[in-house]
Amino acid sequence: MQNTRFSNINIKLSKILFGFLSSSWRSKSINLISILFGYFLFANFITKFISEGQNELIMVPIIILIIEVIIRNRPSNNSNLFNLWLVVDKFRIGAIYALILEAFKIGS
């Protein structure tokens, strides 16, 4: 295929939409385990947190602060800590998913 602007846009779009398919099985499995582990731990944490009903005003700002620190402190791609940060970020995504799902369960 010739190197035209349309082909470049097509290649970039396919990397954005289907880029995760080109990664290794190791990274895919680590990402999936991190998301599911974050969901599992945070769903249990929320269930215990709701049933006790104590320290709500203290725990919620701490959870928000931890999530914001994870988002803001992204290392560069060349750093040794980048892979660890990816795992923690996927853990955060699973935790937020659990939080939203629990909110829908309580709301209905």
Burial classification of residue 9, based on how many CB atoms lie within 10 Å of its CB (0-12 exposed, 13-18 middle, 19 or more buried)? exposed
pLDDT of residue 1: 65
Per domain, the residue ranges of the chain are 22-107
Q: Show pLDDT as tens, one digit a residue, over the chain (108 residues).
A: 688 999 899 888 888 887 767 778 888 888 889 999 999 998 888 778 777 777 767 777 888 888 888 888 888 888 888 888 888 889 989 988 988 888 888 776
Give 13's Cβ-side CA count (13 Å radius): 6
Quick check: pTM over 0.85?
A: no
